[in-house]
Structure 1
Amino acid sequence: MIIEAAINGSVGKAQNPNVPISPEEIAADAIACLDAGAAIIHNHVDTFGPDAVAAERYLRGWRPVLAARPEALIYPTVNPGPGGEIGYDHQVPLAESGLLRIAIVDPGSVNLGGRGPDGIPTGGFVYRNSYDAIAHAFGICREHALGPSIAIYEPGWLRTTLAWWDAGRLPQGAMIKLYFSTERGLIGAPFGLPPTAAALDAYLEILGDRPLPWAVSVVGGDVVAADVARLALERGGHLHLGVEFYGGQRQPTNVELVTEAVALCKAVGRPVASSPEAAELLDLPRR
């Protein structure tokens, strides 16, 4: 069973003082999460900008991790451009560094925002990935031998991904992450499907018998405390968790969240995968 730890995201120290932000904090937290049972680490950086600049900021946090744990799997988020457009090309220099084996691909678009005093969702931000942008992201995966880590915010994102699979064009090493949203969502307003058994059933019906590895995550909640986590483990799924999406009443560390996931896996009878085992389970391409 693969545990992926998403260790920071847009969370600030005011929300959770335990969130790692600097490259040094990211490196220390990533190593601690790997030691606790995580097989994959996902992180954001505090400096975006040109692709080479963003890539070097990632590498400052990753080099100590890979020096200490050479088999570790760690990958970035997208790199927003000056106009807010979503970019994937920073993953090219990351792949060329030899430290990247997994790439992010977000195969769709979604409204993300908060709520007004009346409870109505507000805001003008659309997280947008056109079909052309998705094709470009998958092209980077194929060209640079990267396994795509595919976030599913909405059911249509999964159907787009499966169109690539059915056409025989989905890059090797793909993993699907089903993002269930609480009413709180990412920044205040919900999206997609709630973390319920019926919602999981709906996603698995869409997935059908395609042999793609999949994981569950709860945005704005606590995936380990949600019923959907145990149901996923019982059905052969994996777990995506961490401070990035946590929305409970605590201010946990990433290690605490990973440790709780390991305990749930043991209770269900699913052994936890190491990074090398996860690479085999996902069939990540080799250079």
Structure 2
Amino acid sequence: MAAVSSGEIPVIIEVAINGITSPDINPNVPLTSEAIRDDSLACLNQGAAIIHTHNFDISLTGEAAAGPYIEAMTPVLAARPDALWYPTLTSGADHQAKNAHMAMIAAELPLRMGVVDPGSTNIGAAGPDGLPMGGTYKNDYADIRASFNLCRDNGWGPALAIYEPGFLQCVLSYHRAGQLPAGSMAKLYFGAEWGLTRRSKGVTFGLSPTKNALLAYLDMLEGTDIPWSVSVWGGDLMATPLPRLALELGGHLHVGIEEFYDPDRSPTNQELLAEAVALCNEAGRPIASCTQAAEMLGLP
């Protein structure tokens, strides 16, 4: 695959500022409304085009889940009305419960992006014998269809979490059928040695963060116009060949405390973002503003 001229495509940098990361994994994780507000504004002012954030308690649903998002992001959008951001799903019992907070948030705040997790995968850590233990993150075809419809009906560009190649196969089916909503972006997740839980080594998900793994995904995306980014979960994106290769091939970067792990480092989101910006500058790719990112993604 030929490299894209470095000056042609601005880089969309997304910062996932917290996720399920707890303070014992990284004490710099922003969890309160005030910390989420401050971290989001700092990252936006430093070059992030998209902010992805979780509530401090993912078990909250409906109005209880919507409230903290509204509290945290209202001052952010007052200061930066151009900002792109999106919340996560809740741990509700069904698709409706997992997404009930989204309409409540959108009634109060500008929301141009949504979430579609187009597949299922096992998530866990090593048990006492070193073998995998955990559970299945399940999104069946009916839930996936409902998620795409929710985004389409509300004019939200789907953030497509690609944990495994099968997730991307599902996305490509929608693309071939002409049913992929406007604003879709494939977030290519690679599983590093500490995995998503970051509690033990040796149990992860998906493809490893290697050159050949990224090229395999890009072979799948060949012939489509779906924008894509790279991220490493349970490791350090910048310590892999992925970010530089992505910049050479026209891709984008997804960084943040949600996915980063190094037992010897506890960086802030601003530090991780600074590393990404520095690499973009070194590669000769300009940084996309929020407005440019919205145009590039074709957000409704």
Deviations 1:147-202 (A, max 9, x none): 00001000000000110011000110000000011121101421100000000011
Q: Match for 2:41 among 11, 27, 31?
A: 31
Q: Does 1:239 align with 2:258?
A: no
Q: Aligned partners of 2:286, 2:101: CA distance in 1, in Å? A: 34
- Opposite residue 53 of structure 1, the aligned amino acid is A
- Opposite residue 49 of structure 1, the aligned amino acid is L
Q: Aligned partners of 1:205, 1:118: CA distance in 2, in Å? A: 37
Q: Does 1:160 align with 2:175?
A: no
Q: Does 1:193 align with 2:222?
A: no
Deviations 1:63-108 (A, max 9, x none): 0110111100110111111589972232122222242110011001
Q: Match for 2:69 among 48, 58, 65?
A: 58
After TM superposition, list the pairs within 5 Å mapping 1:147-186 onto structure 2: 147-186=157-196
Partner of 1:100: 111
- Opposite residue 105 of structure 1, the aligned amino acid is V
Q: Aligned partners of 2:95, 2:299: CA distance in 1, in Å? A: 30
Q: Aligned partners of 2:37, 2:15: CA distance in 1, in Å? A: 13
Q: Which moved more, 1:157-166 or 1:219-228?
A: 219-228
Partner of 1:46: 56
| Runs of 5+ unmatched residues, structure 1 | none
Q: CA RMSD in A?
A: 1.5
- Opposite residue 128 of structure 1, the aligned amino acid is K
Tell me, yes or no, if the aligned pair for 2:61 and 2:100 is still in contact at 8 Å: no
Q: Which moved more, 1:87-96 or 1:35-44?
A: 87-96
Q: Aligned partners of 1:50, 1:17: CA distance in 2, in Å? A: 26
Q: How many residues align?
A: 284
Tell me, yes or no, if the aligned pair for 2:90 and 2:98 is still in contact at 8 Å: yes
Q: 1:85 to 1:126 in 2, by over 3 A?
A: farther
Tell me, yes or no, if the aligned pair for 1:103 and 1:141 is still in contact at 8 Å: yes
Q: Does 1:72 align with 2:83?
A: yes
Displacement after TM superposition at 1:116 (Å): 1.9
Q: Match for 2:222 among 205, 208, 212?
A: 208
Q: Match for 2:295 among 277, 280, 283?
A: 280
Secondary structure at 1:161 match in 2: helix
Q: 1:33 to 1:64 in 2, by over 3 A?
A: same
Displacement after TM superposition at 1:44 (Å): 0.5
Deviations 1:217-238 (A, max 9, x none): 0001111221111001100000
Partner of 1:118: 129
Q: Match for 1:253 among 259, 268, 286?
A: 268
- Opposite residue 15 of structure 2, the aligned amino acid is A
Deviations 1:5-24 (A, max 9, x none): 00001111122111000111
- Opposite residue 167 of structure 1, the aligned amino acid is A
Partner of 2:237: 223
| Runs of 5+ unmatched residues, structure 2 | 1-10
Secondary structure at 1:88 match in 2: helix
Q: Aligned partners of 1:81, 1:129: CA distance in 2, in Å? A: 13
Tell me, yes or no, if the aligned pair for 1:92 and 1:140 is still in contact at 8 Å: no
- TM-score where L is the length of structure 2: 0.91
After TM superposition, list the pairs within 5 Å mapping 1:121-140 onto structure 2: 121-123=132-134, 125-140=135-150
Q: After the TM superposition, list the runs of 4 or more consecutive aligned residues in structure 1 that deviate by more than 6 angstroms.
A: 83-86
Q: 1:85 to 1:246 in 2, by over 3 A?
A: farther
Displacement after TM superposition at 1:144 (Å): 0.7
Q: 1:158 to 1:83 in 2, by over 3 A?
A: closer
Tell me, yes or no, if the aligned pair for 1:86 and 1:129 is still in contact at 8 Å: no
Tell me, yes or no, if the aligned pair for 1:113 and 1:122 is still in contact at 8 Å: yes
